[in-house]
Amino acid sequence: MNGVKRMKQIWDLVVVGAGASGLMAAAAALEYTPGLRVLVLEKEKKPGKRLLATGNGRCNLSNRRISPQRYHGDADKIFPVLERFSVKAIEKRFASWGLPCREDDEGRIYPYNLQASAVQELLLHRIQRAGGEIRCCFSVLSCQKAGSEFCLQGEMQGAEEKIDARRVIFACGGLSYPSLGGSERSWGILGKMGHDIAKGFPALVSLKTEKKLAAPLKGARCKGRVTLRLENGKEASSQGEIQFTETGLSGICVFEISRLYGDGKSKAQLICDLMPEYTFGDLLHLLRIRGKDSSLPAGSLLDSILQKQVGREILRRCFGKGMGEKDGFPGEFTEKQLAAIAREIKNFSFPVLGTGGWDAAQVTAGGVRLKQINLETMESKICKGLYLAGEVLNIDGDCGGFNLHWAWSTGCLAGISAARSLKSPSALKTKKN
C-alpha cells in the first residue's frame, strides 16, 4: 500500500551465522535473558552444517588438555577466556541442557552418543523453545551503525532486506570449506567497519607433493613422526598416522604441522621417520637380521617391518627401481645398501608444493585481531554493541576439539555479554521507517 509507513521490528540481538559459536551465542543470550528478541541469520540452507561434519560426524567438542599453548594466532591473549570457559564449564553447560559427554584415551571430548546431530539439535531446540528465530538462506551483505542501533542489509532468495538490531554478534566463521559455509564476505564487512584482520590461510590441512612421489603410495597409511622443515630452518614435528594420498600427505599429524607452511612462500620439505622408536643403529641391526634370510626375494626385505606399499617404495627410492625376485636375495644387500635403506626409513622425504587449500582445511588461521576485542565480553573495541565469536577471530587451535571449544567459549561469552548489556528485552519495540 503506497504511502503507508511500514512498521519494522527492532531485534534485541541479531547473530550472523548459525554455526557452533552463533548457535551457542543465541542459546546463551536467551538463557541469560528470557524473552530477549533474538534472530540468527544463516546464509546456508541449514543451520550448523559445519558442526554436523565435525569429528567425522561425532563432534569432538572439546579436549581435557585445553590451554593457550594449543592455540595459534593471538593465543597469548586468550587465557582469561579459557580460564572462564574451562572444559568443565563447557561440559557442565551441555550437561545442564541434557547432553552428557564422554572422553577418549587422548582426552578428546564427544557427546555421549557420539553424534554431532545431537549437539546441533540441542542448540536449535534451546533457541527455538526460548522464542529465538533462525532464518536460513539469508546472506548478510553489510552492517552499519546509526546511533546506538545497527542496520544489517542482506539478501534472501534474490530479495534484499534490511534488519535492525540493538546488538549484533558476528559468528560468521572462517574461509575454509565453502561447501560448509566458509566465506570471505563477512570478513569484508568487518574490515569495512574498521577491524584489523590478519590475512587468512588454510590450517589443519593436508600437504601436497610431487605427483610422481605421491602416486606409488596412494592409499597407504603408517604410523610415524613427520617433520615439516622450511628453508629458513624453522621446523615443526608431530607423531601419528601418516596417510598417503594421490596428491600428498594427510592425517592428523600432518594437519598439526601444516600451519608452519603458512602462506606457502617458503620452500619446505616433509620428512617422515617411519620408525621413530628405533635409533639408526637399532634399525640397521634389524635389517641385517632380515637380510640374512636368503630364502626371501630382495623386494620383500621390508615386508615384515613396514606397510608393504611403503616398504617397496623405500627400496625403489634407494635403488631407483622396483625390486622383484630377479633382483636377488636380502642376504645379498651390502652393508652400505642396508645403511642407505635405514637412512631412507628415517628420512623419507617429500618436497612440499602447497596445501590441500580451502576445500580441505579444517580451520582458518587469521581473522580479526584480538587487540581490537574486549576479551571480558567479546565486544569490539572499534564498534560498541558489536560482538565477535568463533573462527572469525585470529585464533586457530590444534586438532582434537580445541576449535569447537573456542567456538563454544567465545559464543557463550558474546551471547551473555550482549544480553547483559541490554537492560531489558524490547519485546514491543518497533521502529517507523
Residue type, 370: L
| Minimum gap (Å) between residue 55 Cβ and ligand FAD | 3
Q: Which residue's CB is nearer to ligand FAD, number 252 or number 339?
A: 252
* Separation of alpha carbons 370 and 394, rounded Å: 7
SS3 call for 52: helix
Residue 296 exposure: Cα atoms within 13 Å on the Cβ side: 17
SS3 call for 171: coil
| Minimum gap (Å) between residue 356 Cβ and ligand FAD | 11
Q: How far is CA 339 from the centre of its chain?
A: 40
Which among 87, 136, 356 has a CA at the least distance from the CA of 243?
A: 356
| Minimum gap (Å) between residue 182 Cβ and ligand FAD | 6
Q: Which residue's CB is nearer to ligand FAD, number 21 or number 409?
A: 21
Q: Which residue is nearest to ligand FAD (CB)?
A: 19
Q: Which residue's CB is nearer to ligand FAD, number 122 or number 180?
A: 180
Q: Which residue's CB is nearer to ligand FAD, number 83 or number 161?
A: 161
Q: Which residue's CB is nearer to ligand FAD, number 54 or number 300?
A: 54
How would you classify the pairing of strands 235-244 and 386-388? unpaired
* Separation of alpha carbons 18 and 50, rounded Å: 10
| Minimum gap (Å) between residue 116 Cβ and ligand FAD | 8
Query: Which burial class, exposed, middle or buried, applies to 415 when counting CB atoms under 10 A from its CB (0-12, 13-18, 19+)?
Result: buried
| Minimum gap (Å) between residue 51 Cβ and ligand FAD | 6
Q: Which residue's CB is nearer to ligand FAD, number 44 or number 379?
A: 44
Residue type, 110: Y
CA dihedral (194, 199, 204, 206) positive or negative: positive
Name beta bridge partners: 13: 38, 167
Residue-by-residue DSSP string for 247-310: SEEESHHHHHHHGGGTTS-S-EEEEEES-TTS-HHHHHHHHHHHHT-TTS-GGGTTTTTS-HHH
Q: In what helix (H) or strand (E) does residue 110 lie, and over which residues does it extend?
A: strand 108-111
Q: Which residue's CB is nearer to ligand FAD, number 31 or number 313?
A: 31
Q: Which residue's CB is nearer to ligand FAD, number 144 or number 304?
A: 144
Name beta bridge partners: 150: 145, 165
| Minimum gap (Å) between residue 403 Cβ and ligand FAD | 3
| Minimum gap (Å) between residue 313 Cβ and ligand FAD | 29
| Minimum gap (Å) between residue 402 Cβ and ligand FAD | 6
| Minimum gap (Å) between residue 219 Cβ and ligand FAD | 20
Q: Which residue's CB is nearer to ligand FAD, number 366 or number 390?
A: 390
Q: Which residue's CB is nearer to ligand FAD, number 262 or number 367?
A: 367
CB 99 within 8 A of CB 111: yes
Interaction site with ligand FAD (CB under 6 A): 16-22, 41-44, 49-51, 53-55, 60, 139-140, 171-173, 176-177, 180-181, 183, 185-186, 362-363, 390-391, 401-404, 407
CA torsion, points 53, 58, 61, 65, in degrees to nearest 10? -120
| Minimum gap (Å) between residue 297 Cβ and ligand FAD | 42
CB 399 within 8 A of CB 145: no
